[in-house]
Structure formats: structure tokens, C-alpha cells
Amino acid sequence: MMSLPKVVLHEHIEGSVTPELALVLAKKYGVSLPVGFLYEEGEYDGVDFPSGRYQYDESDFGEFIRTYDVVADLIREPDDYYLVAKDYLSRNSQKGMVYCELITSAHHLCFTELPDGSSELDSRKYHDIMDAIDQAILDVKAEFGTETRLHGCAVRHLNLSDIERSVRFIKDNPRSMITGFNIAGNEMAGHFSDFHYMHDLVDDIPLAKSYHAGEICGPESIRSALDCGAKRIGHGIAAIKDESLMDELIANNITLEISPSSNRILVPEFNQSLDHHPLRRIYERGVRITINTDDAGLFGTDIDKEYQIAEQVFGFSRVELLDITLCALEAAFISDETKQTLMDSVYETFSDSDKDVLKQTCLTLQSGALYERLHARLRCLN
């Protein structure tokens, strides 16, 4: 599995911090982590969680957010962000990741309270931190060849003025590595239609949109995201509940960024199990999907582990996983030239046996959106 090329389109940089790294940062700043914040050695499977394990009630989204905020507060200086970005990108590149998009939030990076009680987003601090992240990206590319781009992000459970300030700040402080814009945070906090000004501002930058929807809320949240211009949907698993929406996703080549471990933990209706997760059904319906880590450090995962889940829990074959990787690259917010180079490298990994399996899969399907896509893969290989 490690040799199979993989892509991550959905990972929050603060959420990528492993317990091991959190301890390093806490020591640096003399921070005492809350009692019981981490499992003690021997209380968890060290093979499954090689970098330690956070201890929180996985059925409580509020507790997850509180854990996230404690971790995010440990990342303060440009050197910290360099360390965090390089750690995530290096570990996952060693496990086959060829392309990644990391989500950054100006609010997390450079929110500053002023002596008069007001606040600002500090542009100097922002650029210093982003320079450090850019350097980590370049260093990982030099070592592993991995391409990485970034998203700017608005956090929807902040108040409206903070959300609008974040978007304007991203517009006024452009970065070449930022190629996408995201709306993240608690899906229950506000609707996409509440943020018309923001959507228009993002169009003016312009940045491609990937909006979190259809994880906790239903299909209507996905429709709303699409109405506001989203080209990809973060999570989007509620699409399985609406056949006409599935048809729309297929017709418009909308890609879902699905994160199995994250969904298992955070989606109440799954009851901490993947038994009823619709990953396989969405894929077989012909919707374009990708497999992601979301908050890899907090969930104790990496991209190899997520691809293994797809294989072992959902029965995806190597050829289907290669198709998923190609879907991710086709949906990537990156130049056409770089995209094609990456896709060519993935096609080169198809063995003769893979091609035979792909042919047999097409014969089994015979028709439908998935058949059409896989048949197009065959034509590219011939």
C-alpha cells in the first residue's frame, strides 16, 4: 500500500499536530497540558498510533473542538509552523503521498488582541508564518518530490464580522501557494447563504472554492455550497441521501473529499463505526471521491492508514484506489501543467496486472458514470 501514489486534498494544518509534537511545543512554551489530555504509554495501541494518542470523548464534537483549540494554541511562531508542516508532509510523503493541499486559517495564524481590547489580523506575523510554511513545502518537495498547495479558510462558527475580516485579509495579503479557499468549522453554525459578501469576495481574488458540507448536516447543505460556487465538497457524505443530488455531482464533476476516520469519530449517526459509512456506495454510484486525513494528528491517522481502511473495510481494489488518486489530481487546485505531470506519473504505476483488472472491472460494470470514467482510464493507458 505504501508504494501506491496517494493524494490529500483535505488536511487542516493545526489538526495535523501529533501528540508527540504537541509535547515538544508544550515544553517549548512551558505549557501544562490539561490532565488526561493524552493517553499514557501502554493505554493505546502503539502500532496503530505510533505518534501517541489524544484522549477526548470522540462522540462529542464540542470536546473535539476544544482539543483542537488547545493544540492550535501551541503553534505560535513561524518555526512552529515550519515544524508542523514539514512533519505532516514528510511522514505522508514517505507513505506515498505525491500531492497535498493544506488548509490554513488566518484567524489561527495571526489573530492578535490589542491593548485597547480590539483585535486584528497581524499581516507581518501572517507573512512570516506563511514564509515558514512555504519553506517546509519546498524542503519536502526537494526531498520527496511532493507537490503541496494551500487553502485560505474562514471558520464558520466565528461571528460574521470575523469571517468577513478573514476573507478580506486573504484578498489583501495574497500568497502564491494559496490556490483555494475553504469554509470550515461547525456545520451547524450558520448557512452558506448567510455569507454572500464573502463568496463574491472570493470570486474577486479569485480562488477556487472547497466548502465543508454534508458531514453533520444533510444534502441541503451540499446544495447550498454548490449554489455558492464550490467546486469540491469537504466530506459530502450526506449526498447518499439524495439521488438527484448525486446525479448533479456526477454531471458537474464535483469531487467529494471524504475522510473515513474523521467521519467515524465525528458523525453521530455512525456510532463510532464505519459499518454504515457510504464511501463504497458513493463511489459505485459514479461520484468522484478522494480519501483524506482531515485532522490527522487528532485522529491518529495518515494517508496510508486511510487508504488501508478503504481497502480493508470497504473492499477497494488497488485499481480503484489508483482511480481515486487520479480523481483527486483531476480536482486539485493546481496548474494544468503540474496536474498533468502528476497524473502521468500515476498512470506509469499501473502494472500489466492492474490494466487487466481495470479491463475486467469495466466489463463487469458495462454502463454508468463509474464505467465511463474507468473506461477513460483504460484509453489513457493504451
Whole-angstrom distance, CA of residue 136 vs CA of residue 79: 10
| Alpha-carbon separation of residue 165 from 69, 105, 113, 189 (angstroms) | 20, 12, 14, 17
Q: Which three cell numbers stand for residue 160?
A: 460574521
**147-155 and 119-121 beta bridge pairing:** unpaired
Q: How many residues does the chain have?
A: 382
Catalytic pick among 215, 257, 306, 320? 215
Q: Which three cell numbers stand for residue 311?
A: 481497502
Whole-angstrom distance, CA of residue 33 vs CA of residue 31: 6
DSSP string, 89-139: HHHHHTTTEEEEEEE--HHHHHEEE-TTS-EEE-HHHHHHHHHHHHHHHHH
CB 96 within 8 A of CB 3: yes
Q: Active site includes 215? A: yes
Active site residues: 215
